[in-house]
Amino acid sequence: MSNNGTTNGHTANANIQRGFDIFHHTLMLGVTNTLSAKNVWRNSEGFTWNDIADSINSGKPLLLGFAGTSDSPYGGAHMTVCVGYRIEDDMLKVVVSDAHKDYYRTIKFNLSTYNDFISKVSVVQNYAA
């Protein structure tokens, strides 16, 4: 990911890593934890439902973007934290949280139109020499 305001031609959400760059937590013995984000866009990198399921199954929530299309459950572009998933009546659904509600929402997953982006966030440990 570049820090110049774009990621693979996308400007929205391209500065997620900049937001994470302020997080540095130094433990005893010179170990420092930082955060790293990898943006994966629907059209250019082609993430799948399995990418979301694998991340959640590994205990790793991820950022999930909703494009500003008319069928988006948010009515516009929106970023959420995906914390779970379920399959109901052969329909793929994601469980998401955002800053605008104090509860989780279960929303139909739609890779063809409005679910356009995920960001995988990792904690990186650096050891002092």
Give pLDDT, residue 13: 67
CB 39 within 8 A of CB 47: no
Whether the model clears a pTM of 0.85, i.e. scores above it, the answer is no
* Helix ranges restricted to H, the chain: 16-20, 42-45, 49-57
Give pLDDT, residue 49: 93
Q: Spell out the domains of the chain, with CATH numbers in brackets.
A: 16-127 (3.90.70)
- H or E, element range at 92: strand 91-97
Phi then psi dihedrals of residue 65, to 5 deg: -95, 145
Supply the DSSP symbol for 105: E
pLDDT in tens, the chain (129 residues): 333 445 555 555 666 777 777 777 787 777 888 888 888 888 777 789 999 999 999 998 899 999 888 899 988 888 899 999 999 999 999 999 987 788 899 999 999 889 988 988 888 888 876
Give pLDDT, residue 10: 54
CB 13 within 8 A of CB 119: yes
CB 99 within 8 A of CB 19: no
Burial (0-12, 13-18, 19+ Cβ within 10 Å), 86: exposed
